[in-house]
Amino acid sequence: MNFDRVIGQEEAKTRLRQLVEEDRIPHALMFTGPKGCGKMAVALAFASFLLGERWEGKSLLARQAAITNAEAMLAKWQHPDLHFSYPAIKPKGSGSDTKITSDDFAKEWRQMLSRGPYFSLEEWMTFMRAENQQAVIFEAESDRLSRKLNMKAILGGYKVSLIWLPERMNLTCANKLLKLLEEPPQKTVFLLVSEQPELLLETIRSRVQTFAMQRIGEGDIAQALTQRQGLAPEDAHRIARIASGDWLKALEEIDAGNENTEFFALFVTLMRKAFTKDVKALKAWSQTASDYGREKQKRFIAYMLQMIRENFMYNFHDPRLCYMTQTEENFAKNFAPFINERNVMLFQKRLQLMMRDIGQNANGKIQFFNFALETTLYLRK
């Protein structure tokens, strides 16, 4: 995958180019940064370059035939010296002794990569046909990596181990990976892509060079929306501003059937039924919300937190402070006055507590119904 497919991030590209030109490529590099900034896209492009793909006309391979061969394999993500590790699930019916590795979902992984280098854990869960299972990098993964990376590179160059979301390794897997990082196999580069690096073992973090990335520039997102998605410039700029440097969010905004549209409708229903104190309707609302899987419940709570914030800021009548779609803004014109200095913190604290409790497996139906009833009181303040 060429760096041309990476949106913005010119500073990151320059820094990586310097590492190569100065022959300072670390044996372990961890890409971090805000959600949707393109960490995985940059890691994929860098892995491709290390394995022979041309970058601005230059390749680490000497022979033209080898370069052409490497690029053909990388186009299908089937290079024999590129080893992916990522969270996986145990299929239903699996026994406790079933060993799960990334190889078990290689077909689904390549299908997702073929759609582009920007994706989320939620999308990956969909590709795996996961339901309420937790995606984990299991112990068997580190055994698989150790076995493969201790073999000689098949094409004679680098071997690259690209680990997506290493914070999802279980403890046994993490400790075994630590040993690999302490004594890396010859000519091997580890590329870790982490959303929550603070969850990794401190000993792992101390053995990787952190490559911190920034949000994508608003102008870069607007340009990509125009060139890649065919949006009119004025629409592209509005969405780029709402996205706040998150390409995944920008894509969600242009998808008419996206999850946020569903969440917005549910949020509006809650506020209208709470204002009229329609307890029967609020009970039905809580049932709908609790029918979501646990991860989706948390995303909905996060969306409500965002909407409370945006409606409160709308009262200041400064467009620079608000980040809403046109539909959300139309609703805010009448609703925003009901979110004020007397209740905004009540909403915020209650939703944050709810997020914590849902994360700890609290009963979703009770949580959402209690919040709905409390909302009838908050809106009167």
HEC profile of the chain: CCHHHCCCCHHHHHHHHHHHHCCCCCCEEEEECCCCCCHHHHHHHHHHHHCCCCECCECCCCCHHHHHHHHHHHHCCCCCCEEEECCECCCCCCCCCCCCCHHHHHHHHHHHHHCCCCCCHHHHHHHCCCCCCCCEECHHHHHHHHHHHCCCCCCCCCEEEEEECHHHECHHHHHHHHHHHHCCCCCEEEEEECCCHHHCCHHHHCCCEEEECCCCCHHHHHHHHHHHHCCCHHHHHHHHHHHCCCHHHHHHHCCCCCHHHHHHHHHHHHHHHHHCCCHHHHHHHHHHHHCCCHHHHHHHHHHHHHHHHHHHHHCCCCHHHCCCCHHHHHHHHHHHHHCCCCCHHHHHHHHHHHHHHHHCCCCHHHHHHHHHHHHHHHCCC
pLDDT of 109 above 70: yes
pLDDT in tens, 25-68: 999 999 999 999 999 999 999 999 999 999 988 999 889 999 99
pLDDT of residue 256: 55
pLDDT in tens, 344-358: 999 999 999 999 999
Query: What is the Cα–Cα distance from 50 to 345, expressed in whole angstroms?
Result: 50
248 falls in which pLDDT band (50, 70, 90)?
very high
pLDDT of 317 above 90: no
pLDDT in tens, 265-314: 999 999 999 999 999 999 999 999 999 988 899 999 999 999 999 999 99
Mean pLDDT of 335-348: 96
Q: Are 153 and 159 in contact (CB under 8 A)?
A: yes
Query: What is the Cα–Cα distance from 304 to 48, expressed in whole angstroms?
Result: 40
pLDDT in tens, 134-143: 899 999 999 9
Pull the structure tokens for residue 96: 């406790």
User: Where do you find CATH 1.20.272 in the chain?
Assistant: 248-379
98 falls in which pLDDT band (50, 70, 90)?
confident
pLDDT in tens, 258-275: 688 899 999 999 999 999
End-to-end CA distance of the chain: 55
pLDDT of 154 above 60: yes
pLDDT of residue 290: 94
Mean pLDDT of 102-123: 94
Mean pLDDT of 70-82: 94
* C-alpha torsion sign, points 169, 175, 181, 184: negative
Looking at domain 3-214, its CATH architecture is 3-Layer(aba) Sandwich (3.40)
pLDDT in tens, 161-219: 999 999 999 999 999 999 999 999 989 999 999 999 999 999 999 999 999 999 999 99
User: Where do you find CATH 3.40.50.300 in the chain?
Assistant: 3-214
97 falls in which pLDDT band (50, 70, 90)?
confident
Q: Return the SS3 of 143.
A: helix
Closest Cα partner for 170 from 144, 201, 138?
138
Helix axes 139-149, 171-182, angle to 10 degrees: 20
Provide the whole-model pTM. Answer: 0.74
Name the fold adopted by 248-379: Zinc Finger, Delta Prime; domain 3 (1.20.272)
321 falls in which pLDDT band (50, 70, 90)?
confident
pLDDT of 257 above 60: no
pLDDT of residue 295: 87
pLDDT of residue 235: 85
pLDDT of residue 327: 87
Flag the least confident range among 116-120, 234-238, 253-257, 334-338: 253-257
